[in-house]
Amino acid sequence: MRVRNVVLVLVMAGVLIAPLYAQVRPGDADSGTVKDVIADHADVSLAYELFGSEFDEFLSGDEPLALFVPTDEALDQIDSEEISGVEVQTLFNQHTATGLASREPIEFIEWFVTVDGERVTVSVEDDAVILNDSVTVIEAIAATNGVVYIVDESLGS
């Protein structure tokens, strides 16, 4: 009876944990670099317009990174013609992370730090990954040099 209970617990644990391990892992991609992913994604053309050429070398480099890309809807109030280089750099730094967030699926970590030094909390609610208690990760796409997370709002204040 005891062995049966242990086996049952192990099977149930595997069923509950397996979906988490099926999440995207950095470097497991056929979709190209982080730059390629945002260039090809229909919902983030404004972010590509802002970040693509400005940070080409960084987004295409070998250093693992996580890029949290707001959808076009989230960025539609920004006039890409009017935004200054400093503002673009600030926005980019608020949405980029290296370190653990670029090497592990974020649902397995409690928080990470963006390039600008801000701490971002991670929680999982009803199978959705939530950042800073309000920003929802819509999609995660593996790239050869990291992960692109499509988010519904800007991480910037």
* Domain parsing of the chain, residue ranges: 26-151
Nearest to 122 by CA among 74, 89, 155: 155
pLDDT number for residue 156: 80
Q: Over the stretch 71-89, which tens digit does the pLDDT of each residue have? A: 999 988 777 777 888 989 9
Q: Which structure tokens are listed for 153?
A: 């709002």
- pLDDT (mean) for 31-50: 91
CB atoms within 10 A of CB 94: 20
pLDDT number for residue 44: 94
Q: Over the stretch 109-156, which tens digit does the pLDDT of each residue have? A: 999 999 999 999 999 999 999 999 999 999 999 999 999 999 999 998
pLDDT number for residue 103: 84
| CATH no., domain 26-151 | 2.30.180.10
> Could you tell me if 100 and 64 are in contact, meaning their C-beta atoms sit under 8 angstroms apart?
no
Q: Does pLDDT of 15 surpass 80?
A: no
> Could you tell me if 151 and 135 are in contact, meaning their C-beta atoms sit under 8 angstroms apart?
yes
Sheet arrangement for strand 96-97: 96-97, 65-70, 146-151, 135-143, 128-131, 119-125, 111-113
